[in-house]
Structure formats: structure tokens, C-alpha cells
Amino acid sequence: MENAWTHTTVLLGEAVGALLGTADAPAAPTEAPVYVDATFGRGGHSRLILSRLAPQGSLIAFDKDPDALLEAASITDPRFAIRHQGFSHLGELPPASVAGVLLDLGISSPQVDNPARGFSFRFEGPLDMRMDTTRGTSVAQWLAHAEVDQITEVIREYGEERFAGPIAKAIVARRQARGPLVTTTELAQLVADTVKTREPGQNPATRTFQAFRIFINAELEELQQALAGALKVLQPGGRLVVISFHSLEDRIVKQFIAQHAKEVYDRRAPFAAPKVMQLKAMGRVRPGAAEVAANPRARSAIMRVAERTATRAEGVP
């Protein structure tokens, strides 16, 4: 599919290498491995996985974006299938059936750069921000009715914006005086008029746009569901690879891996066997200087890798 917006996949080789392991020591040895690209996007990771996948293997992709499904239609490899679902549905796959799960969080460059999607304050466009444009409520629709306290909480929690209160009040005051906000530039200008100071080099609307995008797509809640689903569907030795782009996402991933990478003792039953750890943390990776120079959007990326361990029910003595 051709369009004016291209996407450069971040940590492409590192992510696929961590997911699949090496030819001599695959991450989860099996005759017919099943891998999951839970965030297909424009297919950068999926295509590289398929190029290295065993002939009898298979790749299942997930994505909510209709444009991503159009891109996926160009892949004719019979080992590949895509689902028009968010990655919160990952746990619906059979338990212990997957050799590796990849999550590349955030939004893709085509989503940001296409004004019609409403993700960016740099372009005039409808104030939408939905990952799945076929369903759900847009940011403009929500802001047309949300109360000051609701808006404040969203901007503060998901944007970590210290001026959340004044911005929320300005949004509601604008709605009462002139009608609701309907375009990205209207919101960006309102925030710029309200926020008088900002970090050098950062647009005043950056945190507010991030907050509304995360909220309207329930991104953090969906991430938590996806991580729990991955733990369920990964087979022993299977890899979990997650690339995040801001601290809210990375904190959830880091805490999830840490929580499941230790034995847990029940203080109420001190002589009972501990609950065995379910993940083994395998470290984190940041993009190198060359990648950041070639693709500035990679600068905030953090990749975390963990491996599914065997539980007692799966043969741990």
C-alpha cells in the first residue's frame, strides 16, 4: 500500500533477535513455533520475523488500526495472519501455545504524520486520536461533555502535566463561550495560551496531546491486560519483548517483569512452598547513537526482554 507517510521501525534487529533467539539456540525450541506481533503497525517487525521464521512456524499479528490491516494485506506469506483487535485480546490465544510475544507500544509515524488522524499538534486536523477509527469516542466528542475535574485528572495522570488544572478550565471555558474544540490546532493554541512556561524545545501541547491519546485509547489499561495475557500464552522458554516510548508505559512493563521474576512467599503460610517465579528478566536495551541520529523518534525508546520460566505444573520439581 502506498501513501505519503512512512514508518521507520525502532530497534528492529534487536527486538526480533531477542524474540527469536539465535539459530543455534532459539528462544523457545519447538517444531512449529507460533510467534505474536501484538502491534503490527506497518509491519516492520512482522516482515523480519517472517524472513527468519522456520518453514513450519507461524506469526499472528494484532492491530486495531484499519490502515494497518490494509498494509498487512500486502503480506501473502501463508504463515502470517492478522486480527483486527487490540493486544488486550492476546490472552484469548491457547495457554502455553506461543514461542514469543512482541509489543511495540505507542503510535506509528504514519498515524502521527497523517493530519486526518488528529494525533499531532503540528498539523490542522480533526481532534480524533482513536487508534481504531471504526469505533469508540474521539477526543473532540469526549471534550464536548467532560467536566473540569475529569479533564484535569486525565491531563495530570497521563500527561504528567503540572498545568493540568488551568488547561482543563480553559477547555471548558472555551466550550461554554464559543463551542467545543474540534481541531488539533484549536487545542494546541489553547494550551499554548494557557501554559506560559515549558521545557526548552518542547511544544506546550505535547503533554496534553499525549494524555488525551492515552486516555481515549485506554492504552495503559490495555497494556496491563496484554502483559497478563502474554504470561498466560507463552510457553516455557518463550520470550516477551516490549518496546515503550514514555515513562508511564515503561514503568508498567518494568514492574510487571519484576513482580513475576521472583519467588513469592505467603506470610500466612510460612512453611508452604513459595510461588515460583514465572519470568526471568533479561535486561533492557536502548537505541544506539546512530539509530537516534537517523530516526530522532527512537530517542525515548526502551526495550525490555523477559523469558517465560516453567511453573511447577509444567515440570519444575
Residues in CB range of 300: below 8 A, 6 or more apart:
245, 246
On whether both 52 and 182 belong to a single domain, the answer is: no
CB 117 within 8 A of CB 129: yes
Q: pLDDT tens digit string along 22-44? A: 655 666 667 789 999 999 998 99
Considering 182, 216, 250, which residue would you say is the last residue of a domain? 216
Confidence (pLDDT) at 183 = 97
Residues 90 and 140 in one domain: no
Q: What is the DSSP string of 77-126?
A: -TTEEEESS-GGGGGGSPTT-EEEEEEE-S--HHHHH-GGG---TTS--B
C-alpha cell at 230: 502474554
Q: 96 and 74 in one domain?
A: yes
Residue-wise pLDDT tens digits, 255-293? 999 999 976 555 665 655 556 779 999 999 999 999 999
* Closest to 101 in 3D by CA, of 221, 19, 44: 19
Q: Which domain holds residue 16?
A: 12-109+219-314
The reply to whether 191 falls in a domain is yes
Residue ending a domain, choose from 165, 195, 216: 216
Q: Which residue has the cell 494557557?
A: 194
Q: What is the pLDDT of residue 315?
A: 39
Based on the fold, state whether residues 105 and 156 are members of the same structural domain: no
202-246 residue pLDDT tens: 889 999 999 999 999 999 999 999 999 999 999 999 999 999 999
| Bind-site residues for S-adenosyl-L-methionine | 43-45, 63, 87, 104, 111
Same domain, 310 and 225: yes
Nearest to 33 by CA among 66, 58, 1, 11: 58
Q: Which residues sit in the known binding site? A: 43-45, 63, 87, 104, 111
The answer on pLDDT for 316 being more than 50 is no
Give percent of the chain above pLDDT 90. 74
Q: What is the pTM of this model?
A: 0.88
Residues 197 and 77 in one domain: no
Place of cell 464536548: 144
Q: Are residues 226 and 299 in the same domain?
A: yes
Mean pLDDT over the full length of the chain: 89
- pLDDT category of residue 3 using cuts at 50, 70 and 90: very low
Q: List the CATH number of the domain containing 186.
A: 1.10.150.170
Q: Same domain, yes or no, for 245 and 205? A: no
